[in-house]
Amino acid sequence: MFVALRDLRHARGRFALMTAVIVLVTFLVTFLASLTAGLARESTSAVTDLPADHLAFAMPGPDDAPAFTASQVTADQWRRWRGVPGVDAAEPLGVATTRAGSAAGTASVTAFGVPAGSRLLPAGSPDLTTGGVLLSPAAATELDAAPGDTVTVGGTALEVVGTTDVEASFAHTPVVWTTVADWQAVGARGTGSDDDPVATVVALTTSDDGAARGDAAVGTTTVTTAQARSAVASYAGENTSLTTMQGFLVAISALVVGAFFSVWTISRSADVAVLKALGATTRYLLRDALGQAAVVLTVGVGFGTLLTAVGGRLLPATVPVLVDTTTTVLPAAGLVLLGLAGAAVSVARITRIDPHAALAAH
């Protein structure tokens, strides 16, 4: 990169401008990725953090995609899942977004109904009995409630038995935990017979492919807890929109980088002709030009990623950004690779520059 590095130093204004554009595009992409991940966490953390590996949905139609808003499992289905070989644990889980109130005010919450003594409760939680409610930290804060206080969940008065150590959110609302019996008033409202809805899904812990075997027999649709994120209505819409925006931004950045190096290559066509006339091979020139693009991209993407990493930590907790390797390093690597692809298409014109042009007077 004998000439490339000296070009960078010599035309520092032009390259600084281009690097600044890449920094901003990278910041946008990585920040958007962090925001997407943060919003996804706010929509689905209560599901993905469940101590279960599969969820069985019972949808109204046989071809319906799993959705928490439409699924209703019966007591019979729950019991039949318990008997499926390879299923170590099967517990009903009710999910219903509703309104909660306390002496301090009201808040939107999602009530998770589980059997008394359920292992689905977050680790370290106090026992949950009928008439009691367990609050996630955000719910406790919004309701300004402490153990011993009385809150209403979907109109049912319950006593706060404690607060969980970890945050749990569903569809951007904090989660509160009740017994399935109390949850009936909020969600299923069945009469208690085997054919009445008892909960939203059955949470399964499996040791082999028991989940696949049970669906046909029980009449449910089973997905992993990770796949179950798509069953949260808010997640699917947000995630698709934000991921599409990221994709457009990455494609735009590749176009911007490609356009810059296209103009840059045209402007130095005469120099390339001279270099070829002096004996530079096309391979040497392509390596030089791509090396230059790699330096600009690496520096620009590096600073843009750093900006997101630092900015993410400075933002208030109310902005749901999740800065980690998958939201910074992975998109950054994608930007470098696609940017290099854009630059490669642009600098390929080097192969068509005729060294004969060096003999021209000007």
Partner 1 sequence: MDLHLDRITLVYPDGTSTLTAVDDVSLTVPAGTTTALLGPSGSGKSSLLAVAAGLTPPTSGRVRLGDEVALTPTTSVAEATRWRRDHLGVVFQAPRLLDSLTALEQLELHAHLRGRRPATVRRRALELLDAVGVADRAHHRPAQLSGGQRQRVAIARALVGDPAVLLVDEPTSALDHDRGVRVVELITSLARETGAATLLVSHDASTLDPVDATARLADGLLESPARPQRTEAPGGRCVSAPAG
Three-point CA angle 300, 302, 304, nearest 5°? 70
Q: Binding to partner 1 (CB under 8 A): which residues in 223-242? A: none
Interface with partner 1, residue 189, by CB under 8 A: no
Q: Which of 52, 145, 275, 301 binds partner 1 (CB under 8 A)?
A: 275
Question: What are the φ/ψ torsions at residue 16 (nearest 5 degrees)?
Answer: -65, -40
**What are the beta bridge partners of residue 95?**
112
* Gap between the Cα atoms of 26 and 306, Å rounded: 10
Which residue, chain included where needed, has tokens 């980690």?
Answer: 324
Interface with partner 1, residue 276, by CB under 8 A: yes
**Judged by CB under 8 A, which stretch of 9-17, 94-102, 203-211, 314-322 contacts partner 1?**
9-17
- Residue 1 or residue 294: which is nearer to partner 1 going by CB? 1
Residue 278, helix vs strand vs coil: coil
Q: What secondary structure does DSSP assign to 279-297, as a single string?
A: T--HHHHHHHHHHHHHHHH
Interface with partner 1, residue 216, by CB under 8 A: no
Q: Which of 227, 281, 329, 333 binds partner 1 (CB under 8 A)?
A: 281
- Residue 314 or residue 360: which is nearer to partner 1 going by CB? 360
Cite the DSSP H helix spans in the chain. Answer: 2-10, 12-48, 75-82, 137-143, 180-183, 210-218, 233-267, 269-277, 282-314, 325-347
* Gap between the Cα atoms of 358 and 362, Å rounded: 8
Interface with partner 1, residue 263, by CB under 8 A: no
**Judged by CB under 8 A, which stretch of 4-12, 83-91, 96-104, 294-302 contacts partner 1?**
4-12
Q: Which of 24, 245, 256, 358 binds partner 1 (CB under 8 A)?
A: 358
Q: Which of 166, 212, 217, 270 binds partner 1 (CB under 8 A)?
A: 270
List the end-to-end C-alpha distance of the chain, in Å, as a whole number: 26
* Gap between the Cα atoms of 133 and 139, Å rounded: 11
Interface with partner 1, residue 274, by CB under 8 A: yes
Interface with partner 1, residue 313, by CB under 8 A: no
- Residue 158 or residue 275: which is nearer to partner 1 going by CB? 275
Interface with partner 1, residue 303, by CB under 8 A: no
- Residue 215 or residue 271: which is nearer to partner 1 going by CB? 271
> Contact 201/223 with Cβ under 8 angstroms?
no
Of 327, 347, 308, the residue nearest 28 (C-alpha): 308
Interface with partner 1, residue 3, by CB under 8 A: yes
Q: Mask: binding to partner 1, 336-355, rule CB under 8 A, as x and -?
A: ------------------xx
Instruction: Please report, as ranges, the residues that interact with partner 1 according to CB under 8 A.
Output: 2-3, 6-7, 9-11, 270-271, 274-281, 284, 354-356, 358-362
